[in-house]
Amino acid sequence: MDTSHEVHLQRYKPEHLSFLKAFTLPEEQAKFTALPSEVIEVKKGQHPIVLSDLSKPVGFFLLHANERVKEYSDNPDAMLLTALSINHMEQGKGYAKKGMYELRDFVKNEFPTCTEIVLAVNHKNLPAQQLYLKAGFINTGRTKMGSIGKQFIYSLLVNE
C-alpha cells in the first residue's frame, strides 16, 4: 500500500461530477455497492461525500439522515453510510482506510448532532468488513437481508 496519499473528506460539489461519472468498479465489487453516477441524484436527507486526494475525487459515499436510518438503528441521532466506493484505478492506495479513519472527525464537524454512523455490509464482502472494523466500527450482532443476501449491521460511535 502506498502511504504517501492524503485523503480529505468533503461534501460533494458540482465540480466533482465529471470525476465521479468516470468511476469504474470491477464486477465483483460492483455487486456490493453503487457507482457514484448511480446515486448522485440526491434525495431529501442524503448527503453525498467525496474522498479526495489533493484536488481530485478518488472515492464517494452517501450519508443519510432520513427515515431509512431507522432500519439500522434506534438512535434518533444516527446517520446511515451507503454506497462507499473507490474508483478502480485508485484502489490499493489506502484511500478507503484513510477516509474511514477521517470519518468520525468529519461527521463531528459537518453534522454535530450525529452521534452514531451505521452501515450494512454483505456477509460475503470480507474486504469491506475488515476495512470497517479497522476503522473502529463494531459489528452490532444485528443482520438485515439485502438484495444479494445477509448483511451485518455495523456501528461507529462518533463521540468516542
Q: How confident is the model at residue 58 (pLDDT cuts 50, 70, 90)?
A: very high
Q: What is the pLDDT of residues 110-159, one digit of tens each?
A: 999 999 999 999 999 999 999 999 999 999 999 999 888 999 999 999 98
The model's pTM? 0.89
CB 119 within 8 A of CB 61: no
Q: How confident is the model at residue 4 (pLDDT cuts 50, 70, 90)?
A: low
**Per-residue confidence (pLDDT) for residue 20, from 0 to 100:** 85
**Per-residue confidence (pLDDT) for residue 59, from 0 to 100:** 93
Least confident of 37-46, 47-56, 90-99, 126-135: 37-46
DSSP characters over 24-80: ---HHHHTTS--HHHH-SPPTTEEEEEEEETTEEEEEEEEE-SGGGGGT-S-TTEEE
In terms of Cβ atoms closer than 10 Å to its own Cβ (0-12, 13-18, 19+), residue 111 is middle
Domains of the chain in start order, with CATH, are: 8-157 (3.40.630.30)
DSSP characters over 106-142: HHHHH-TT--EEEEEEETT-HHHHHHHHHTT-EEEEE
Residue at 5: amino acid letter:
H
Q: What is the pLDDT of residues 59-118, one digit of tens each?
A: 999 999 999 999 999 999 999 999 999 998 898 999 999 999 999 999 999 999 999 999
Which tops the pLDDT comparison, 41 or 112? Answer: 112
What mean pLDDT comes out for the span 26-42?
75
Q: Is the pLDDT of residue 2 over 50?
A: no
